[in-house]
Structure 1
Amino acid sequence: MREPVTAFFHRPHRPEPAALRVLGDAIDIALVGLSLVLVVVMFTNVLARGFLNIDIAWNTEFGEFCLVWATFVGAAAAARRGAHMRITELIEAATPQIRRGLELVTRLAILILLGLLIWRGLLIVERT
């Protein structure tokens, strides 16, 4: 029987360096904080509209801002845990050597994509 793919890509038995553990905990706290602030602001707006007949003007933009940040912070938290979704049939059928190669290709593709996103994002920031 082969080990599951999640065990190959995510190795919880390996010790995590202290700096990464602190960073990961900060990411988790930020995600919880973003979620709580989002819920409080949205719920406050619902109450204000229902009982006081007023609207918090910046509510929608703030909600969008929080959701965008929660998406990226949540992606970092999922990457730390190895919890991103993946289709594993091909990987599970592969030999350990091929699995290592696929892991390398996957991680390189992710790094290239992140580099492109950062580069294009900086170009957008410079123009605006």
Structure 2
Amino acid sequence: MFVIDSIGFFNTAVPLGVLALLAVLLPRVLVDRETRSHGKVLHGIALSAAFLVAIGFLISIAVTQMRGFEAVGHFEIDPLGAAWVHLRLSLMAAIVWAPILGLVWFGHAQGVEARRGQDIAAGGR
């Protein structure tokens, strides 16, 4: 296993910023804005989380490659070990984007309840 020894703007702030921005934007694309179903909201949020893990995985590979470690070559030597390293790093980045995604989920859930309330007030169920 390798160690990324320093925290910097391009190897930490930019990747985390990209993931945080995607945590806000992906649910806007993946969740129907007019849904009255919490299940559909949950599905869109879960899909967003899966995309964020996958994108974090790719960002991890790019950052380690940029830092001088032969990340792509590591997959040829030890594919499972390399996948585990980058998956772990991707999941560690969730400490930044998961709370943001949770707040976005809360916002979408409030929208569902508001639309349900409007339907009830309009006389339909």
TM-score normalised according to structure 2 size:
0.33
TM-score normalised according to structure 1 size:
0.32
